[in-house]
Amino acid sequence: MKRRDGLAAAASAAAAKLGGAFGAALAASQARAQAAQAPQGTESGDGARRPAGTMKALGEERYQIGRIVVDKRAGSFVVPGRVHKKNVPLEYLATAPRGMKEYESLFELDAIGTEFNLACILVGLDADPNLAWRELRMTRKVSGPRVTIDVAWSEGDRRRRMSAAQALLNPEAGVAPAAVEWVYIGSPSSQAMGRFAADDTGTLVGFVSDANCIIEAAVPIGIGAYGSVRGDAVLPAVGTPIEFFVAAARPVK
């Protein structure tokens, strides 16, 4: 009970800290979890309905939020999902099931925006309060705390893992994976919507400076060259289960 209360306290602190649309979304999520109801949720590859916002402590500063597992001590979390689109024009690295932009997303993750954002907060990410989100598409480099993102999947007895940028970028994109930086922005358009935008749009991680996203590429990719980003051929078939790893970047000493 103490562990569960500890997570509830962390969630409440996050809601109080951010306030506004995310705070309201998180409060609603907590209420649903406490009532053991799930009017909103994610859907797995087998079609099973997953409750939104259910949280539990796993011990040793590890928590589960829906399908997300957070390691607070390590500053990282992992989300299950699947390869969603390949060899089509892409503008998003990852979206929630049935998200508005799912048709141009490389991966689909088993999480809604509120869950994904809470996981980001629990690993210590804090959006830049001075981010001019209304001008995000005109910003040459988006500000915010850096994160690293990897994806992993199984091929028979072999386990493969690579950076998300490597998985995303085909040679025609003209961008070196090592040059890509990801930053946490926390779906800042929510400030004007009165609700948490990423829950409405399903946009979790993008790379075209979308203020509805929770994580974005610091420098947009493929702007002015729609269709140039289509995913790397090394990725397995559409529908293949993957794990999506997010970690707060360690400061360079």
Structure tokens at 236: 């397995």
Predicted model pTM: 0.82
Contact (Cβ atoms closer than 8 angstroms) between residue 195 and residue 21 = yes
Q: Nearest 5°: CA angle at 26, between 200 and 123?
A: 100
Cβ of 177: how many Cβ atoms within 10 Å?
Answer: 15
- Run means of pLDDT, 10 residues per run, the chain, 253 residues: 46 53 52 38 44 78 95 97 97 96 97 95 91 78 94 95 97 94 94 87 95 95 87 96 95 50
Q: What is the pLDDT of residue 10?
A: 54
Q: What is the pLDDT of residue 224?
A: 78
Instruction: Assign 173 to helix, strand or coil.
Output: helix
C-alpha 217/C-alpha 69 separation (Å) is 23
